[in-house]
Structure formats: C-alpha cells, structure tokens
Amino acid sequence: MTLQEDVAASAETIRQRAGPALPRIAVLLGSGWSGVADAVAGAIDIPYRELPAFPMLGVGGHAGILRLGTLGGQPVMVLSGRKHAYETGDAAVMKGVIRTLAALGCEVLLQTNAAGSLDPAMRPGSLMLISDHLNIVQRSPLFDEPADGRFVSMADAYDPALRAQAHATAARAGMPLDEGIYAWVMGPQFETPAEIRMLQVLGAQAVGMSTVPETILARHAGMHVLALSLITNMACGLSDEALSHFHTLETAAQAAEHAAQLVEAIVADLEL
C-alpha cells in the first residue's frame, strides 16, 4: 500500500473507534511522559500495530498506543511514543502518523520530549516550553513532497498564541515553566562537551533527539504546534552525571506527576 492508502486506512480505523466527535487536539508523548496517558478519562486504546500508517517502536518508554478519550475535559488523541530518526536515519519516519492526524481534522499537536539542559539555571526536573528550534541535523521529512509542495514557512513554528495560553495556565497553577530554543541532534549517541559548547553559542537552551521532524510535518499539514521539554539531565560537560537512556527515564519518572499535571491543565485551557 502507498502512504496515502495507509493514512486513509488508519484514519478510518480511528474514526470507527472514536465515534462522531473526533478530537481536534493530539498529544504526542516522549520519554517519561506516560503519566499524561494515564490521566485520560474514558480511554479507548488502539495499538499502533493496528494502524498501517503508524511505525513499530523500539525504544524504552514508548508504548506504541493511541489513546482516545478526554483530558482536562477536552477530547484528545494521546499518542504514547514516537519513532526517532536515529532508529532508521529517516527524518520522515513519523510522516504517516502526522498525516493521519491531519486527515482526522486535528488542529493542535502538543508534543512532549525529554531533553538535556544547556542552561546551568535550568536543572533536571524543570519544564521548558519550546519557543523555536535549531535543526542541527539539517534533514527534512519533506524531501519527497511534490515540486513546490515541499516548501513551508517555519516562522512561528511553535504557535505564539498557544505558548501564551500555556504560560498563563502555568502561572495560574503556580507551576514554574521555562521557555527556550530546542536543538535537534540525530543521536543516538549523546553529545560531546565540544558539541554542547557549540549549541550554547548558537543560542540553544535544551538539546534532544526528537520533536523537530514532527513539528515540520505538522506545520506542513497546517496544524498548530505546542511543545514541552522535560529536562532530565544537564548536557555533557555541565555536570559529572553519567548520561544514559536509563538515566533519562529514571529522572523523568521522578518528575512525571508534575509534568502530566501541567499538560492536563494546558489542554483544559486550550482555546481553539
């Protein structure tokens, strides 16, 4: 089947399970954010393996389940896990997922990830709203788009109005929320101290191995993007801690409840 056929089949399966009121908000969960899925009420689960446009996942902390229900009183689709470009070298590995969301009429993609801090003042356990990104990898998921269809503006890639709403929600809830620029690196190896110094010079406050390809795809599909990073470690050279994926998940688990509460509050306050 072609990607278009896979997307159509996946969208139809989700429509049949969701009923007439399809959510306009999708939440894509990164490592350590499973508490958001746990907070969904009236949950209906669809494993990714039942959706032909969705990839099979191979990284710990990514369940591979699409959950339909309500979060903060809002109808949502919560996607537990993503496939990363570092698993295949393909920046477009999540294209079928984002195209399916767009085919279902999704208007807002709220992304989450685990990231390393480049700012000594932003410690592990902090939450950072992404204001912009650096595509350090300089790869795009749009290479195979037809002719002029591959061009999309990335100005305000992370929607300013949604960011303002998120900050207002966090302030009302008394939850600290940083904001900064996220640098996407390919991985899967962690960065060297020299690379971290380079990213600091370029103006990044956090670094990670995801999110940017999905943002490009979502913007290309006309969706609005909001993204949150859970800071799980200080970047290489900024502390003596040993970096590993296990350490990322362990640190994320300690902040999971706080992070999930903020996402639920943000979703509840979203005005579309």
Residue 162 class from Cβ within 10 Å (0-12 exposed, 13-18 middle, 19+ buried)? Answer: buried
Determine the pLDDT at residue 145.
Answer: 86
Beta bridge partners of 71: 74
Residues ≥6 apart with Cβ < 8 Å to 69: 40, 41, 42, 43, 44, 75, 76, 78
- List for the chain the helix, strand, coil content (%; round to 5): 35, 25, 40
Taking the chain (272 residues) in runs of 10, the rounded mean pLDDT of each run is 95 92 94 91 96 84 87 96 94 97 97 96 95 97 86 96 98 96 96 96 98 98 97 83 64 78 96 80
Beta bridge partners of 34: none
Residues ≥6 apart with Cβ < 8 Å to 250: none
Determine the pLDDT at residue 242.
Answer: 64
Indicate the fold that domain 3-141+155-269 takes in CATH: Rossmann fold (3.40.50)
Determine the pLDDT at residue 210.
Answer: 96
Q: Which residues are catalytic, by number?
A: 31, 62, 84, 86-87, 114, 209-210, 233, 245
Do residues 96 and 146 lie in contact, with contact meaning Cβ atoms separated by under 8 Å?
A: no
Question: Hey, where are the domains in the chain?
Answer: 3-141+155-269
Strands, E assignment, the chain = 25-29, 41-47, 65-71, 74-80, 108-117, 127-135, 178-184, 206-208, 224-234
